[in-house]
């Protein structure tokens, strides 16, 4: 089996298929060839057994079958596989796209950043050169204008000088490389905020597009385009479904119409519908984000106007954060513009994979085939079955879930992308399931059905119908991604893995370096300290022991020592003790008040002086 072959053999097969297709004028990617190899090997009609290794003849047949299918441009199945491979290789969610854009921007700015951070200017001319490089960096970082636009360069230079004059270059040069890079990013945001504020005041803004107005016009237009394509795609799917059901009921009426081709065309439009729904949900999320950004941007501009206007001077710590916030909001507008362009390009490029529909089944042909056939939409089919539901008591060993008895009913992970689990394997068509009929929980997975009868039939033997669906996917490999059956087929192709639950064709097995370490001594150490390896050292110890054998120990007592014994005394340990020996006190002495009377004299010739003492006694103070 191909899954058991060495990687070198698989690569050789893929390379030979690619060369043969190129020789016949058809250029194919290695990813598409690998997917086609998987599809051919899985198809039981090609008789590639999983129990034996491919022989040379098997390899030759495999290459020939893959080349034949890749060159069949009238095959809807090939168009579906190409569409899946394209979407898997090119689609990225919001976070992935923005992180990749940031990585690309950092790569473009890397030479300028190195020229600024690694330079050590000493003279004035060199400093001016580095300063001009900072101006270029700010322009490129903000995306608001080109370094060749003289007016934009003047605006950036003026704004930069207001927050980072050339006199500060000496301080900038002394910073570390990391600090310089952070400083450059802050300067870029400050200058961008200043330019945006000046544009709002109509005092500048050269090279700055009005992104809010552009997005307000472009997003509704893109959403309408997606809606129109989605509606036409769904209409085509409803027609194909009705025609396939009619062919199963009246096979003689459509004897000249290929049932297999029509079914493959149905799978093609269903896959196109699934991808358009993903793009549409992204467009709706983008529209909501832009609406929120518009409100925040207007509020930020208003706060700046109230802070800056009618003031001759203002502190940098008060206004700089406002400019940086304005810059961040504008960067978010730029991100939304990038996302919108990405979604538009994806939707345009997906159209090429459904062009085969108009070639195989023109509008006039479909109208003639559908005469007397009732075409029902998915909504109409669901409405017809809303009044019927499974009676859980009819199945003792099965668990059925209903909206009123199940928490988070709408968030359950339904198998087969929400299609009826019974109709895929039995009828070979994709009918949208109605959860209101009842969701069957079988082995931890959830299944929906298009009708009550289909639910009852499936519940009789779920494993049987699950295996039927797997066999159907083996014959039509495009169903693996459409019905999200990657977990069923991962073991057949080791290098094929899904990116996540919403997308994924093939991806090399992730690898990483790993290491193991064991303990040097698992058991506790048992080192004998008395061990000696030196023979002469052992002899020395032996002689010493032999000499000790001839020694005697003598003991004696005297009259003064025979009654002695060991004595012990105990004392209290010193401790910290504090005493207070004096205190502060004060007293208040009365102020002397003594008055003399009669010093000026009087009518008599002699002077009589009288002393009056008004000082208060001590006991009264």
Domains of the chain and CATH, by start: 7-71 (no CATH), 119-201 (no CATH), 211-370 (1.20.1260), 381-488 (no CATH)
The pLDDT mean for the chain works out to: 84
User: Is the pLDDT reported for residue 360 higher than 80?
Assistant: yes
Helix 211-249 vs helix 259-308: crossing angle, to nearest 10: 160
Closest CA to 276 of 237, 225, 239, 241: 225
* Overall average pLDDT of the 224-253 stretch: 90
Cα angle, residue 277 at apex, residues 273 and 281 outer, rounded to 5°: 170
Residues of the chain above pLDDT 90, percent: 37
Instruction: Give residue 456's pLDDT band: very low, low, confident or very high (50, 70, 90).
Output: very high
pTM of the predicted model, to two decimals? 0.74
The DSSP bridge partners found for residue 446 are 414, 441
Among 252, 552, 249, which Cα is nearest to 241's? Answer: 249
Rounded to an integer, what distance in angstroms lies between the CA atom of residue 205 and that of residue 208?
A: 5
The confidence band for 3, taking pLDDT boundaries of 50, 70 and 90, is very low
Q: Which two tokens stand for residue 368?
A: 């003639």
pLDDT above 70 covers a percentage of the chain that reads 89
d(CA 265, CA 79): 9
Structure tokens at 242: 């009705």
For residue range 9-24, list pLDDT tens digits in order.
788 888 999 899 999 8
Predicted local distance difference test score (pLDDT) of residue 72: 87
Chain centroid to Cα 611, Å, comes to 105
Confidence of residue 332 (pLDDT cuts 50, 70, 90): very high
Distance CA 489, CA 569 (A): 89
């Amino acid at each position: 089996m191909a899954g058991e072959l060495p990687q070198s053999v698989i690569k050789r097969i893929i390379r030979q298929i690619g060369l043969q297709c190129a020789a016949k004028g058809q250029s194919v990617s290695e990813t598409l060839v690998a997917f086609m190899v998987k599809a051919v090997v899985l198809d039981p009609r090609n008789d590639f057994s999983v129990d034996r290794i491919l022989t040379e003849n098997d390899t030759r047949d495999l290459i020939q079958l893959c080349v034949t299918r890749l060159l069949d441009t009238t095959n809807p199945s090939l168009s579906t596989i190409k569409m899946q491979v394209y979407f898997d290789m090119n689609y990225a969610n919001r976070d992935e796209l923005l992180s990749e854009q940031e990585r690309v921007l950092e790569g473009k700015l890397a030479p300028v950043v190195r020229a600024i951070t690694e330079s050590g200017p000493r003279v004035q001319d060199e400093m001016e050169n580095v300063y001009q490089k900072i101006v270029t960096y700010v322009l490129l970082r903000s995306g608001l204008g080109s370094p060749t636009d003289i007016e934009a360069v003047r605006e950036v230079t003026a704004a930069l000088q207001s927050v980072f004059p050339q006199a500060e270059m000496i301080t900038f040069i002394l910073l570390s490389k990391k600090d310089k890079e952070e400083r450059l990013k802050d300067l870029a945001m400050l200058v961008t905020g200043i330019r945006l504020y000046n544009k709002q005041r109509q005092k500048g803004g050269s090279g700055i597009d009005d992104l809010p107005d552009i997005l307000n016009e472009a997003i509704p237009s893109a959403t309408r385009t997606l809606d129109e394509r989605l509606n036409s795609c769904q209409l085509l799917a409803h027609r194909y479904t009705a025609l396939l059901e009619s062919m199963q009921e009246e096979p003689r009426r459509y004897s000249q119409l290929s049932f297999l081709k029509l079914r493959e065309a149905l799978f093609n439009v269903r896959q196109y519908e699934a991808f358009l729904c993903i793009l549409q949900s992204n467009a709706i999320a983008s529209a909501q984000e832009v609406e929120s950004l518009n409100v925040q941007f207007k509020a930020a501009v208003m706060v700046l106007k109230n802070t800056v206007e009618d003031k001759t001077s203002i502190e940098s710590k008060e206004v700089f954060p406002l400019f940086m916030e304005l810059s961040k909001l504008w960067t978010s507008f730029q991100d939304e513009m990038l996302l919108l362009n990405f979604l538009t390009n994806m939707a345009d490029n997906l159209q090429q994979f459904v062009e085969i529909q108009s070639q195989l089944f023109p509008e006039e042909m479909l109208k003639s085939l559908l005469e007397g056939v009732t075409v029902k939409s998915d909504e109409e089919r669901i409405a017809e079955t809303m009044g019927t539901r499974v009676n859980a008591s009819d199945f003792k060993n099965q668990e059925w879930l209903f909206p009123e008895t199940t928490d988070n009913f709408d968030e359950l992970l339904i198998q087969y992308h929400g299609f009826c689990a019974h109709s895929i394997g039995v009828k070979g068509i994709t009918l949208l399931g109605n959860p209101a009929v009842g969701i069957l929980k079988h082995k931890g997975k959830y299944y929906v059905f298009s009708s009550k009868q289909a639910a009852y039939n499936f519940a009789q033997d779920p494993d049987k119908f699950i295996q039927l669906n797997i066999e159907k996917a083996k014959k039509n490999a495009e169903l693996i991604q459409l019905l999200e059956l990657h977990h069923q087929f991962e073991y057949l192709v080791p290098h094929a893995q899904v990116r996540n639950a919403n997308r994924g064709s093939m991806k090399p097995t992730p690898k990483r370096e790993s290491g193991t370490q064991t303990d040097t001594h698992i058991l506790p150490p048992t080192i004998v300290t008395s061990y000696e390896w030196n023979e002469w050292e052992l002899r020395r110890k032996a002689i010493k022991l032999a000499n000790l054998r001839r020694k005697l120990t003598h003991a004696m007592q005297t009259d003064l020592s025979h009654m002695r014994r060991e004595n012990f005394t105990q004392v209290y340990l010193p401790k910290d003790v504090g005493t207070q020996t004096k205190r502060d006190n004060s007293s208040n002495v009365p102020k002397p008040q003594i008055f003399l009377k009669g010093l000026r004299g009087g009518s008599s010739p002699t002077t009589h002086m009288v002393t009056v003492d008004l000082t208060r006694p001590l006991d009264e103070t």
